[in-house]
Amino acid sequence: MDAEKTDKILIAEDDASISRLIAYKFEKEDYIIKVIEEGDKVLAEIKADSYDALVLDLMLPVLDGMQVLKRIREAEIKLPVLVLSAKSQEEDILKALNAGADEYVTKPFRPDELLLRLKKMLAN
Amino acid sequence: MLRYLYYLSGGLILFILTIVLIIIIYHLLYKRRNKIFEQKKEKWEAVLFQYLNNDLSLEKTASVMNDSYLYLYDFLKPYLKNLKGDNFEKLRQLVQKNKMIDFFLLKLKKGNREEKIKAAAFLGKVREKRALPLLKEYLNSEDKSLMTASIWAIADIGEQELFFPVLKTVLNENSFTFEALTEILIRFGEESCYQIKEFLEINYRAENNLTEILEVPEYQSLSLFFDIFGYFRFIPGVEVMVPTLEADFNEEVLIHIFKALVKIEYPIDKDLSPFLNHKSWVVRSQAARYLAEIKESNYLSDLKKLLSDQNWWVRYYSALAIFELGKKDLLIEIIKNKEPGYEMGRYILDQAGDLKVGEADSG
């Protein structure tokens, strides 16, 4: 079996319609998916279970995505993080990349592109 | 008297019971609507995902998603907002095929108030140009909600010909914040920058009167225009910003010019000393910030002086500019000699994680 196909992905996204669409797309590629809607639960979930990548929305309730990202990196967790956000200004993208994001995709987005970026990130 | 009280309490009880009954009915209707929506959503979602993934044809998808258009719009809203490219085009083809666009075009014309508002929002999201004549008409509607929905819809469609009519409407509406105004106008895309530039050039030649045309004070429209230039990093816009950059011009406009120049990162041929010594601390700080961005070293003595400015942000951007100019040694010298503003110098080097700070302190 292809090692890539058992990768487990955590999706932190508060819009259920969008997270279900992403999950559908990723599951079609045989990824194992878990969805979380609130930022404060992401770190605990990553520590509790082993994931291969995180797809992170920046506008999460309770604790925003930037804070989540900073806490992940402060805890020295080397999980690949793909930020998916409506914030499309160059400074927002640079801020997230400086805070430790590996990839950045802006909304509106193309699910095919998201999948490709995820694959590229996992391959690296 | 007793009888009067008896009737009064009876009436009051009846009134309360009626209110409770209305609340219960509304609650039940709401629950019923939600239940119907959830059932439809489940059915539609499975079909839509297959369609977007090219696993189901347009015809089959449209045959499943061809009823309850008002519910269907609520269902499609997050996808219309968050998807782009071929996925957005597929959504557009779907709402054309299932006659949803025709339905909402009719509602925009003949629906009740709520239906018109919903139709405007939907037709804007799917960028349906046939809606434009009516949307333009509703810009003058007495109904503020319909007018607002039409403004957003025209902006979503990005119709350049309606940029100035929308601009005039939003500038004269008190209900929009500056951020909302900018967001609306940004939706017209970078193309609108060329329209603004041309409009300002005509204005500078005194062939039109900006205040008369837009019916708002000049500083308001100029601030907004320059913000849009900054957002799109519109380099040709620098040409029309520079003539306005005079120290005695409106402070708000000057601040917006510098903020735009910082984003555009474009050097200008102009003496910036008057702005570094401006009476407004915001202008001083933004001018210093601009120098940090373009790495212009002709103002080093001004920047050094500003390290002891009374405002924190002016001191901060001045020290940052000195640092960005590659003059770390100058900052270290200031710290060593405890010259005015040395604390900010230390702060900037500390933020940059520069090891020489310790060296400077021990010196």
Burial string for B65-98 (b: 16+ CB within 10 Å, else e) reads: beeebebbbebbeebbbbbeeebbebbbebbebb
Instruction: Enumerate residues 6+ apart whose C-beta is below 8 A from B70.
Output: B115, B118
ipTM score of complex: 0.90
Query: B207 pLDDT exceeds 80?
Result: no
**Domain-embedded: residue B149:** no
- Facing A21 at nearest CB: one of B49, B85, B88: B49
Q: Which helix (H) or strand (E) holds A105?
A: strand A103-106
Range of lowest pLDDT (B44-58, B132-146, B346-360): B346-360
Domain ranges, residue B290:
276-362
Cβ atoms of B257 and B228 within 8 Å: the answer is: no
Query: B298 pLDDT exceeds 60?
Result: yes
**pLDDT grade, residue B355 (50/70/90)?**
very low
Does A71 contact chain B (CB < 8 Å)? no
DSSP A3-67: GGGG-EEEEE-S-HHHHHHHHHHHHHTT-EEEEE--GGGHHHHHHHS--SEEEEESS-SSS-HHH
Share of chain B above pLDDT 70, in %: 97
Number of Cα atoms under 13 Å in the Cβ half of residue B53: 17
Select the highest-mean-pLDDT range: B35-44, B125-134, B209-218, B352-361: B125-134
What is the per-residue pLDDT for A2?
A: 47
What is the per-residue pLDDT for A1?
A: 43
Query: B29 pLDDT exceeds 90?
Result: no
Does A24 contact chain B (CB < 8 Å)? yes
The model's pLDDT over A20-53, given as tens digits with 9 standing for 90+, comes to 999 999 999 999 999 999 999 999 999 999 999 9
Q: Pairing between strand A53-57 and A8-12?
A: parallel
Contacts 24+ apart (CB under 8 A), B291-298: B291/B321, B291/B325, B292/B317, B292/B320, B292/B321, B292/B323, B292/B324, B292/B325, B293/B261, B293/B262, B293/B265, B293/B324, B294/B261, B294/B265, B294/B266, B294/B267, B295/B324, B295/B325, B295/B326, B296/B267, B296/B272, B296/B325, B297/B325, B297/B327
**CATH number, domain at B319?**
1.25.10.10
**Domain-embedded: residue A119:** no
Cβ atoms of A61 and A35 within 8 Å: the answer is: no
Structural domains counted in chain A: 1
Query: B245 pLDDT exceeds 80?
Result: yes
Does A20 contact chain B (CB < 8 Å)? yes
| Alpha carbon B336 to chain centroid, angstroms | 45
**Cα–Cα distance between B21 and B304 in angstroms, integer?**
73
What is the per-residue pLDDT for B102?
A: 96
Tokens of B314: 């002016």
Share of chain A above pLDDT 90, in %: 87
CB pairs under 8 A between A and B: 41
Does A122 contact chain B (CB < 8 Å)? no
**Domain-embedded: residue A42:** yes
Is B84 in contact with A109 (Cβ distance < 8 A)? yes
**Domain-embedded: residue B340:** yes
Is B49 in contact with A15 (Cβ distance < 8 A)? no
**pLDDT grade, residue B361 (50/70/90)?**
low
Q: For B337-360, what is the HEC assignment?
A: CCCCCHHHHHHHHHHCCCCHHHHH
Cβ atoms of A53 and A80 within 8 Å: the answer is: yes
**Domain-embedded: residue A123:** no
What distance in Å separates residue A110's CA from the closest CA in chain B?
6
- Facing A110 at nearest CB: one of B81, B86, B231: B86
What is the per-residue pLDDT for B351?
A: 82
**A25 contacts on B by Cβ (under 8 Å):** 49, 53
Is B82 in contact with A25 (Cβ distance < 8 A)? no
Domain ranges, residue A72:
8-114
- Facing B83 at nearest CB: one of A20, A89, A108: A108
Amino acid at B163: F
Query: B358 pLDDT exceeds 70?
Result: no
What is the per-residue pLDDT for B363?
A: 44
Does residue A73 or residue A90 have the better pLDDT?
A73
Global pTM reads 0.79
Share of chain B above pLDDT 90, in %: 66
Amino acid at B290: Y
Does residue A36 or residue B361 have the better pLDDT?
A36
B135-142: average pLDDT: 94
**Cα–Cα distance between B142 and B262 in angstroms, integer?**
40
DSSP B82-103: HB-HHHHHHHHHHHHHTTHHHH
| Alpha carbon B85 to chain centroid, angstroms | 22
What is the per-residue pLDDT for B138?
A: 96
Q: How far is CA B67 from CA A26, B44, B56, B94, B230, in A?
A: 30, 11, 18, 13, 44
Is A109 in contact with B78 (Cβ distance < 8 A)? no
Q: Which helix (H) or strand (E) holds A103?
A: strand A103-106
- Facing B88 at nearest CB: one of A25, A108, A112: A108
**B38 contacts on A by Cβ (under 8 Å):** none
B111-117: average pLDDT: 95
**CATH number, domain at A82?**
3.40.50.2300
What is the per-residue pLDDT for B80?
A: 96
B118-138: average pLDDT: 96
Does A115 contact chain B (CB < 8 Å)? no
A84-111: average pLDDT: 93
Does residue B46 or residue B215 have the better pLDDT?
B46
Would the CA dihedral through B124, B130, B132, B135 be positive or negative?
negative
**Domain-embedded: residue B79:** no
**A107 contacts on B by Cβ (under 8 Å):** 81-82
Preferred mutation among B42, B83, B156 to probe A, highest tally of A CBs within 10 A: B83
Question: Which chain A residue lies closest to B81 (C-alpha atoms)?
Answer: A108
Query: Helix or strand or coil: residue B321?
Result: helix
Find, among B138, B135, B139, the residue nearest to B126 by Cα: B135
B9-15: average pLDDT: 88
Query: B275 pLDDT exceeds 50?
Result: yes
Query: A3 pLDDT exceeds 80?
Result: no
Question: Mean of the per-residue pLDDT values for chain B?
Answer: 90
Structural domains counted in chain B: 1
Select the highest-mean-pLDDT range: A85-89, B85-89, B346-350, B357-361: B85-89
What distance in Å separates residue A48's CA from the closest CA in chain B?
31
Range of lowest pLDDT (A43-52, B199-208, B309-318): B199-208
Q: For B10-34, what is the HEC assignment?
A: HHHHHHHHHHHHHHHHHHHHHHHHH
What distance in Å separates residue B12's CA from the closest CA in chain A?
43
Tokens of A73: 């990196």
**Cα–Cα distance between B235 and B264 in angstroms, integer?**
6
Does residue A84 or residue B355 have the better pLDDT?
A84
B29-58: average pLDDT: 90
Amino acid at B9: S
A79-91: average pLDDT: 92
Range of lowest pLDDT (B5-9, B61-65, B75-79, B297-301): B5-9
| 3-state DSSP helix/strand/coil % of chain B, to nearest 5 | 75, 0, 25
